[in-house]
């Protein structure tokens, strides 16, 4: 097998899987088959990715680069992909005749994200970004109608409108960068932008280019879709939207922000401003939420703010900590969604009060929820703490003292609403006594996520080292 084929194998496996899924959608009652196919695809791609971890290649006329950075992130995305499939179980909230299509779109969206990780040409990047977004818009709309209420349609329309607008802004910004540098290749752009990076037009171009990514990450002021989409889409879809795209967005953000030099105060200031707004807005609004998914939506805005704080350092340490944090965030938020999907009746939304007495209905779910929520709150020894610590460390070492203090103050605000969840789940008495029985895949999923959240927090040395090393291959 040629080296370039080996490097591209994960993508090929996914594409083959998508093709297979397409054929499954042609026949009737293909939901079970589709589920098997997508699960096998995810595992196959994961294995292929692990196998190609060491390989390096530049493909498609320099538009696509496979390196340690991209492969490392692909593994995380594919692992998350497998979790999302397990999360979905039977897709109770999606109409039965369109379930195979749902799996197809899920697979296509992940393919888009995988492409994003390796794209080093802005055209390829934008296409990959669109490929990862459009299936998600459809998946939101695929939720079953509930008593004639079409909230899912409202959510989907909001999602697509904001998405398209943000992408438009991004393309506009990219056109400036292209005009300045005469190239669409990111590495070339990096060197050619260097002499002119402090000119206003470069700054405007750079900042506008970030819009599409900030939208994915749900950073203020591109956050408006978040709570409605979380609430309107089915629990499984929301779990997907809340986790993987954010990882992709942060990864690409690294590529874009590294276009700015380490001493670029304007970009740092802009990012700091967005981070502060996101943190305060997300946390303060989350305080009054009653629906658990909405709460996660607003807290997601705040967490995006934390991740952006790492970027203000504009150096490898900051990027590393943000990537590490968002990796941990994927695990934490998926753990929350496992609980949501299992507690929910017929796929309905779950209010916080419905979590009452979860410890008696299912101890494992309660444990998963408590660990995930404490991790989100940033309590050691879980990954949320180590992530925030790394980000604070990076920001403070660049002298962003005020930003660091705002960040810790926000962590303190956030504790209140996270504790409300813990309070219901652990201290409360069940409103409904029926125990929740978990099937084996769910148990495995819970345990994997628990171990992941704890292990990443207690022993982050390996993964931090890997991220730092892979950033170094990008020239950072």
Partner 1 sequence: MTSQGFLDTHLLSILIFAPLAAAAVSAVLRSEQAQRIWALVATTALAALSIGLWCRFDASTHAFQFVENYSWIPSLKINYAVGLDGISVLLVLLTTLITPLCVLASWTYIKKRVKEFMIALLVMEAAMVGVFSALDTVLFFTFWEAMLIPMSLMIGVWGGPRRIYASLKFFIYTMAGSIFLLVSIIAIRLQTGSFGIQEAMGHPFSHGFQLWIFAAFFLSFAIKVPMFPFHTWLPAAHVEAPTAGSVILASVLLKMGTYGFLRFCLPMAPYATQVLAPYIIWASVIAVIYGGFTALAQGDMKKLVAYSSVAHMGFAVMGIFSLNQQGLEGATLVMINHGITTGALFIMVGILYERLHTRELDKLAGLGAKIPVFTGFFGVFCLSSLAFPGTNSFVGEFLVLAGGFKASPWAVVCVVPGVIAAAAYMYRVLQKFAYGSAENPEHHEVADLSLREIITLAPLLFGVFWVGLHPQPLLNVMKVSLAHVLEQAQRHL
State the residues that interact with partner 1 by CB under 8 A: 320, 374, 379-381, 385-386, 389-390, 392-393, 396-397, 401, 404-405, 408-409, 411-412, 415-416, 419, 423, 426-427, 460-461, 464-465, 468
Q: Return the number of the residue (26 or 461) whose C-beta is nearest partner 1.
A: 461
- Sign of the torsion formed by the C-alpha atoms of 258, 261, 262 and 264: negative
Element (H, E) at 291: none
The closest of 172, 71, 93 to 139, measured between CA atoms, is 93
Q: Return the number of the residue (259 or 425) whose C-beta is nearest partner 1.
A: 425
Least distance in Å: CB of 118 to partner 1? 25
Cis peptide before 11 (omega within 30 of 0): no
- Using an 8 Å Cβ cutoff, are 312 and 259 in contact? no
- Written as one string, the DSSP assignment of 311-327 is HTT-SHHHHHHHHHHHH
Q: Return the number of the residue (86 or 313) whose C-beta is nearest partner 1.
A: 313
Q: For residues 232 and 419, give the distance between their C-alpha atoms in angstroms, rounded to a whole number.
A: 25
Least distance in Å: CB of 425 to partner 1? 11
Q: For residues 399 and 312, give the distance between their C-alpha atoms in angstroms, rounded to a whole number.
A: 10
Least distance in Å: CB of 466 to partner 1? 10
Q: Return the number of the residue (19 or 472) whose C-beta is nearest partner 1.
A: 472
Q: Return the number of the residue (176 or 306) whose C-beta is nearest partner 1.
A: 306
Least distance in Å: CB of 396 to partner 1? 5
Least distance in Å: CB of 415 to partner 1? 5
SS3 (DSSP) at 69: helix
Least distance in Å: CB of 125 to partner 1? 28
- Written as one string, the DSSP assignment of 300-361 is HHHHHHHHHHHHTT-SHHHHHHHHHHHHHHHHHHHHHHHHHHHHSSTT---BGGGGTTHHHH
Q: Return the number of the residue (273 or 380) whose C-beta is nearest partner 1.
A: 380
């Amino acid at each position: 097998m040629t080296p370039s084929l080996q490097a591209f194998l994960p993508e090929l496996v996914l594409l083959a899987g998508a093709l297979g899924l397409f054929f499954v959608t042609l026949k009737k009652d293909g939901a079970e088959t589709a589920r098997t196919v997508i699960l096998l695809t995810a595992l196959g791609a994961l294995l292929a990715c692990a196998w190609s971890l060491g390989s390096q290649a530049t493909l498609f006329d320099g538009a696509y680069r496979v390196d340690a950075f991209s492969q490392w992130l692909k593994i995380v995305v594919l692992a998350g992909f497998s979790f999302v499939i397990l999360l979905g179980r039977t897709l109770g909230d999606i109409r039965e005749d369109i379930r195979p299509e749902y799996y197809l779109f899920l697979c296509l969206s992940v393919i888009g994200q995988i492409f994003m990780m390796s794209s080093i040409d802005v055209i390829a990047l934008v296409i990959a970004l669109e490929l990862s977004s459009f299936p998600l818009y459809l998946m939101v709309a695929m939720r079953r109608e509930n008593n004639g209420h079409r909230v899912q349609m409202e959510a989907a329309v909001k999602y697509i409108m904001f998405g398209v607008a943000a992408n438009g802004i991004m393309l506009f910004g990219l056109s400036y960068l292209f005009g300045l540098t005469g190239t669409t290749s990111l590495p070339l752009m990096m060197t050619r932008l260097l002499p002119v990076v402090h000119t206003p037009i470069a700054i405007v171009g750079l900042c506008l280019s970030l819009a599409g990514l900030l939208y994915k990450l749900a950073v203020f002021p591109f956050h408006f879709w978040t709570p409605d989409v979380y609430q309107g889409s089915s629990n499984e879809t929301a779990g997907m939207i809340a986790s993987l795209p954010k990882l992709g967005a942060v990864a690409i953000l690294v590529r874009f922000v590294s276009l700015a030099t380490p001493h670029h105060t304007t970009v740092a200031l802009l990012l700091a401003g967005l981070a502060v707004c996101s943190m305060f807005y997300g946390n303060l609004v989350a305080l009054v939420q009653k629906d658990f998914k909405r709460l996660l939506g607003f807290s997601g805005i705040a967490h995006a703010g934390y991740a952006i704080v790492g970027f203000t350092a504009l150096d490898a340490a900051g990027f590393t900590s943000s990537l590490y944090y968002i990796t941990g965030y994927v695990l934490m938020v998926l753990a929350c969604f496992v609980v949501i999907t299992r507690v929910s009746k017929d796929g309905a939304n779950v209010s916080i009060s419905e979590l009452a007495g979860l410890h008696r209905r299912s101890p494992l779910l309660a444990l998963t929820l408590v660990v995930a929520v404490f991790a989100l709150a940033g309590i050691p020894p879980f990954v949320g703490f180590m992530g925030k610590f790394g980000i604070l460390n990076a920001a403070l070492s660049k002298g962003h003292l005020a930003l660091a203090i705002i960040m810790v103050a926000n962590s303190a605000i956030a504790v209140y609403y996270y504790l409300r969840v813990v309070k219901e789940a652990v201290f409360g008495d069940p409103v409904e006594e029926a125990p929740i029985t978990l099937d084996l895949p769910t148990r495995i999923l819970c345990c994997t996520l628990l171990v992941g959240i704890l292990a990443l927090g207690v022993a982050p040395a390996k993964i931090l080292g890997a991220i730092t090393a892979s950033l170094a291959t990008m020239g950072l």
